[in-house]
Structure 1
């Protein structure tokens, strides 16, 4: 599968990554800012400007998820939008949402279910978008 890196459409990977990353920026700072803060127990204590790790870290993770998705889409020879959607739902729910909720269930997240719903929904929406872009531009 790693040998497939050279056959990827890197423009589609870059576009999918940018869309995924920007979706996250909007999701957590505009669409669900208040609910996200509540899920973290920081509704009255969110910093005005996040530290660089809170921008760079998610960017790197989004890039890794996008590249891994591209490799799998190519290896599985997914070539239709329907196939991309099915792939995204399986990966999104089976790995991204499940892992997000698992991470949220710890004593440091005061509202783990709310956190899991907000963050899990972001990742599911993101992977669906990434997968459709990757297949549409394949």
Structure 2
């Protein structure tokens, strides 16, 4: 499995990472910013100050996820759009959405299902985008 790391396309990993970062920035601001703020119980409060961790953290996480996707897709022989889409949906629904919803279900989250819907749907779409970019750019 580790010999696959040397065989992945780093340009695809870079495109996947940037794609997820841009999608995340738009998702949690322009597309679903109000719903996300409401899910967090922060409506009417001033927005969070954008410190470096809120910018670099998601980017680094996207890089790690992109590398993991590239390694798994290479090991599984996923090399066409149909299989890339199927992989993105299976991983997205089976792991990313379920983990996000489960993370939101806690006493500190005022609207856990809305949080799961907004965040989980982002991770699903981001996972599909990642897998498709990794198939397209190889």
* Normalised TM-score (structure 2): 0.95
**CA deviation string 1:33-63 (max 9, x = no partner):** 1000000000111425322222221111111
Q: Which residue of 2 aligns with 1:66?
A: 66
Query: Quick check: 1:27–1:122 contact (8 Å CA) kept in 2?
Result: yes
Residue 109 of structure 1 aligns to a residue in which SS? Answer: coil
Q: Which runs of 4+ in 1 moved over 4 A?
A: none
Conserved? CA contact 1:37–1:46, under 8 Å: no
Cα drift, residue 128 of structure 1: 0.5
Report the CA distance between 1:30 and its aligned residue. Answer: 1.1
Provide the residue aligned with 1:89 in structure 2.
Answer: 89
Q: Hey, what's the Cα distance between the residues in 2 that align with 1:104 and 1:74? A: 32
Residue segments in structure 2 that go unaligned for 5+ positions in a row: none
Cα 1:124/1:91, change in 2 over 3 Å: same
Match of 1:54 in 2: 54
